[in-house]
Structure 1
C-alpha cells in the first residue's frame, strides 16, 4: 500500500508473477479451475498495482473508488458461487479485503492531495485485526499443505500411478495450468501479499 520502495517492489513482483501464472491457469480444460484462476488473476494484478511505491507512480484519486466497485462486485460473485462449495469463501474474504483496503485508500486520497508518500492509511482496527488473523492462519495452513508427504509419495510410486495393482506406471501429462501444487503456491503467495498490505494499516 505505497510503502518503502524496496519491499514495495518485491511485493509488486510477487503479486504480478502470481497474477501472470493465474492467467496461464485459465487455459485449463476444467471450468471450475478457469473460474478460480480468473478470480486469483484479478487479485494478483490488483494487489500489484496497489503495492507500487508512491514515489514511482501515484494513481489518480478515482482509481480507488473504482477498486471498491470492482472488488465489491468480485466479493458478491464469490458469495453467490459459495452456494456450490465452501472453497469460494476464501475468494470472498480476499475480494472483501481488497475492497476494504480500497476504501481506506479512497478516504486517504483527498486528504493527501493525491500524494500517498508519508500518508498513514488507516482502517477499522477490529476489522483489520480479523483480516490479519485470517490471512496469517491461511498462510500457515497453506504452507504446511505444501510440505511433501513421504509416505503418500512412496505409495503412489509403488502403485505405479496406474490405478491397477501391479500394472505399469502411467505418466499423467498435465500442463502448467493444471498443476494443483502450483495453484496452491499462488494462493500462498497472495496470502503473504495480503498479509503484508494489511500490516501497513
Structure 2
C-alpha cells in the first residue's frame, strides 16, 4: 500500500473515531420524569415573579409585590415573607397568618400572578434572549417568539433546563413540550 493511501485510511479512521466520540458527547438524554410532572403541578413562585396581592377592605395593603432574588416579598406591617417554592394558596395563608398576629382580625388575602418570571431561549434561534412567559407556552411558542430556528438548527428536539424542587435539571424534550416560567431552552446545531 502506498504511503499516501495509508495516510488517507488513517485520516478516515481518525475522522470516523472523532465523529463517534462527538456523537457520544451529544448522546440523547431524555428529560427526567420530574419534567412532565412539574408541568401539571400547581405553580411554584420564584425570584422575578410579580404578584398582585389583595387584602379585602385594606386598600393600603393591596398592591403588586415582586419576589426578590432571595425569594421573599416585602409586605407592609409584617416585613419579609418567604415566597420561593410556595404556591399561591400557601403564600395567601402565610400572609393572612402573619396579619392575624396583631394587625387584622380576619384578613382575607388573595394573590394572583401579575407577571411571570421569563423564559430564556438560547442557541440556534434568530434572537436568543429573555422572553415573557405565558401560561400554556410550549417550546415551539418560545422559539417562535425568539425569531424561529436558524438554518443550522436541530428542529426535532431541544434541551430544557428547569428548576424542580430546588434542583436544576436538564433534559432533552420535543419542540411541542410545555415549558414553565424560568426555563432555559437551548436549540442545538444539527450535525448535517
Normalising by structure 2, we get a TM-score of 0.25
Which structure: greater helix fraction?
1
Normalising by structure 1, we get a TM-score of 0.24
Larger radius of gyration: 2
Which structure: greater strand fraction?
2
**Higher RCO (CA-CA < 8 Å; seq separation 6+):** 1
